[in-house]
């Protein structure tokens, strides 16, 4: 298990494409859109600049974990999963180790956008809140890592990338990571509150405000995590059972 985890971590560290999706894109977007906010504006119960910081940090983090997860489709194409299947590594451990590595790909976005918000808008939260923000937004990527794995294991390799992109775009836009749900029509706002992306960003917004996560938000995130974990495990067994 530890050897496999070290192997996956080395692969992640050697992938320069992650910086483009999880760091550069969210930081540039934040620099552009946060400059349009006025002092005193508030979104999701916090200062608008801080709310956008959390949303775009989450946007980059979700992009990272989904993209890493869907890369397993390439591994399927070259037969790597069949080699894993014949090792003593149980399926749940293989999926769990891969999911853990996927979540780590979301950390650079949170760090980069957080530092940008601190430098550009002087967002000061105190060491405890910054640490809570980082930890919650790291742990909160678990359901998206599992979703990425479910796509990578369950969708044909040539379709994995477009399916991953559509899932990412839909969840990001409808979940309020790019456009605050305050501006949504009522029906779309209610839909956003049921999506994992909104509840993920809510962890960050409440952390910035110095508040604990809501029970309803944690419950929904947990439910999505269980669903995606079950689908990812099923897809893994199905993919590795093929000959």
List pLDDT tens digits, range 141-182.
Answer: 999 999 998 998 888 888 888 999 999 999 999 999 988 898
* Confidence band, pLDDT 50/70/90 cuts, at residue 219: very high
Picking from 132, 138, 136, the residue whose alpha carbon sits closest to that of residue 22 is: 138
Proportion of the chain above pLDDT 90, given as a percent: 47
pLDDT at 215: 95
* Confidence band, pLDDT 50/70/90 cuts, at residue 15: low
Least confidently predicted of 72-81, 95-104, 233-242: 72-81
pLDDT at 243: 47
Domain, as residue range, for 140: 2-241
What does the pLDDT average to over 49-53?
92
* Confidence band, pLDDT 50/70/90 cuts, at residue 46: confident
Alpha helices in the chain (DSSP H): 2-13, 17-19, 25-34, 48-70, 72-77, 80-85, 91-104, 107-121, 127-139, 142-154, 157-174, 186-194, 196-208, 215-241
Computed over every residue of the chain, the mean pLDDT equals: 84
What does the pLDDT average to over 92-117?
84
C-alpha 237/C-alpha 8 separation (Å) is 19
Tell me the CB-side half-sphere exposure of residue 88, using CA atoms within 13 A.
Answer: 3
Q: Phi, psi at residue 195, to the nearest 5°?
A: -90, 150
C-alpha 234/C-alpha 239 separation (Å) is 9
Least confidently predicted of 10-19, 100-109, 227-236: 10-19
* Confidence band, pLDDT 50/70/90 cuts, at residue 80: low
CA distances from 112 to 25, 83, 127, 193 (A): 10, 37, 16, 26
pLDDT at 143: 94
The answer on pLDDT for 1 being more than 60 is no
Q: How many domains does the chain have?
A: 1
The answer on pLDDT for 6 being more than 70 is no
Proportion of the chain above pLDDT 70, given as a percent: 80
């Amino acid at each position: 298990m530890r050897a496999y985890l070290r192997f996956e971590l080395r692969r992640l560290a050697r992938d320069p494409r992650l910086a483009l999706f999880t760091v550069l894109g969210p930081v540039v977007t934040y620099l552009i859109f946060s400059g349009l906010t006025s002092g005193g504006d508030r979104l999701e119960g916090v200062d608008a600049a801080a709310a956008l910081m959390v949303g775009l940090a989450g946007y980059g983090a979700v992009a990272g974990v989904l993209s890493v997860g869907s890369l397993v489709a390439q591994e399927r194409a070259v037969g790597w999963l069949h080699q894993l299947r014949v090792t003593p590594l149980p399926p749940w451990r293989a999926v769990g180790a891969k999911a853990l590595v996927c979540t780590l790909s979301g950390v650079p976005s949170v760090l980069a956008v957080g530092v940008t918000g601190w430098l550009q808008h002087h967002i000061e939260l105190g060491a405890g809140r910054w640490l809570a923000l980082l930890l919650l937004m790291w742990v909160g990527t678990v359901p998206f890592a599992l979703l990425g794995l479910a796509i990578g294991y369950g969708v044909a390799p040539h379709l994995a990338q477009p399916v991953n992109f559509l899932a990412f775009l839909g969840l990001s836009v409808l979940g309020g990571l790019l456009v605050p749900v305050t501006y949504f029509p009522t029906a779309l706002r209610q839909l956003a509150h049921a999506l994992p992306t909104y509840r993920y960003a809510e962890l960050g917004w409440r952390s910035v405000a110095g508040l604990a996560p809501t029970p309803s938000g944690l419950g929904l995130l947990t439910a999505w995590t269980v669903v995606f974990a079950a689908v990812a495990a099923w897809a893994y067994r199905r993919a590795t059972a093929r000959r």
